[in-house]
Amino acid sequence: MINQKLAQEFARDWIDSWNSHDLERILSHYSDDFQLTSPFIALFGGEASGVLKRKEKVAQYWKNALEKMPDLKFELIDVLYSVNSLVIYYRAVLGKKGAEVFFFGV
């Protein structure tokens, strides 16, 4: 069960991982069979559906993104959580806000 402390720690480590640009550290937050959806995948990831499945496909997409954005930096705004999920709300590229949704053990 997720509590406030666990949610905050996970979110802080996720943000720090992205800010380190360490792809292996970033990927450590995800299972091998996770799925990523984003409108940017359709634009830049070569997948018209906007969906990438499996860690190895997402890893290549993120590797390319990190190479193109060497100054990438995220800032944590808030963390929302429930029994088995959490949402990391953050400031991303060009000051735009983003949200990542994680489901655990489902």
Q: Flag whether pLDDT at 96 surpasses 70.
A: yes
Three-state DSSP class for residue 53: strand
Q: What is the pLDDT of residue 106?
A: 66
Query: How many domains does the chain contain in total?
Result: 2
Q: Do residues 63 and 33 both lie within one domain?
A: yes
C-alpha distances (whole Å) from 43 to each of 32, 53, 98 are 24, 16, 17
- CA–CA separation, 48 and 32 (whole Å): 22
Q: Do residues 80 and 103 both lie within one domain?
A: yes
Residue 104: CATH number of its domain: 3.10.450.50
Query: Is the Cα dihedral 44, 46, 52, 55 positive or negative?
Result: negative
Q: Do residues 26 and 65 both lie within one domain?
A: yes
Please answer whether residues 87 and 99 qualify as being in contact, where contact means their C-beta atoms are separated by less than 8 angstroms: yes
Q: Do residues 47 and 26 both lie within one domain?
A: yes
Q: Do residues 62 and 26 both lie within one domain?
A: yes
| pTM listed for this prediction | 0.91
Q: Do residues 55 and 89 both lie within one domain?
A: no
Q: Do residues 34 and 51 both lie within one domain?
A: yes
Residue 65 is part of which domain span?
A: 22-69
Q: Each residue of 17-64: pLDDT tens digit?
A: 999 999 999 999 999 999 999 988 988 878 899 999 999 999 999 999
Q: Do residues 62 and 99 both lie within one domain?
A: no
Q: Which two tokens stand for residue 99?
A: 């949200």
Q: What is the pLDDT of residue 105?
A: 84
For residues 76-83, give the mean pLDDT.
98
The DSSP code for 29 is T
Instruction: Place 77 in a pLDDT band, splitting at 50, 70 and 90.
Output: very high
Q: Do residues 63 and 86 both lie within one domain?
A: no
Q: Do residues 31 and 52 both lie within one domain?
A: yes
